Amino acid sequence: MAKDPWLVPVATLRRTLGASRREQRVGKLGRLEVAGTVVGEDSEACADVVLCSLEGGVEVSGTVAANWEGYCRRCLIEVTGLVEADVRELYRQRRRREVSGDDDETYPLDSEMLDLRPLVRDALLLELPLAPVCRDDCAGLCAVCGANLNEGPCACGHSSWSDG
């Protein structure tokens, strides 16, 4: 079985308050999708973070990134890009009497391992473009005949094309 790149051992780090360590991780998260913008099933995400030991937990700060693909919302051609997100989150060990879900402000932490997967997934999902465009000045499609107005004026005459 392959080692999970998102699991980070933290037992040694947690022994000293204020101790920190940089972690760079690359791995697959599975398919992420928001409004038709997709990080593919086989795409790799990257995390470059610093873990800092705090009383009762570990703070994780840094950046996460992944390549995405989708369709321009104006002209419907395929577009791709890189989604990057700054992260700063707390992983906190749950008390025995706490019921799962009671603390939605932190990620769960056990004494030995920290799982970066939910943090990376959440951050990327929040930053995926909802309406990607191929370029800022994309003219889109003619509403009548469907011609790509980036290629010039349409033949139906209902839309005009301009260079900017």
Q: Which of 80, 81, 92 lies closest to 14 in space, CA to CA?
A: 92
Query: Cα(41)–Cα(27) distance, rounded to whole angstroms?
Result: 11
Neighbours of 60 (CB within 10 A): 24
The whole-model pTM stands at 0.82
Give CA–CA dist 160/49, Å, rounded.
49
Q: Which residues contact 107 (CB under 8 A, 6 or more apart)?
A: 89, 90, 91, 92, 115, 118, 119
Domain residue spans of the chain: 7-133, 137-164
Contact 37, 54 (CB under 8 A): no
In terms of Cβ atoms closer than 10 Å to its own Cβ (0-12, 13-18, 19+), residue 105 is exposed
Q: pLDDT tens, position by position, for the chain (164 residues)?
A: 458 999 999 999 999 999 999 999 999 999 999 998 999 999 999 999 999 999 989 999 999 999 999 999 999 999 999 999 999 999 998 765 455 555 567 899 877 899 999 999 999 999 999 999 999 999 999 988 889 999 988 888 765 444 34
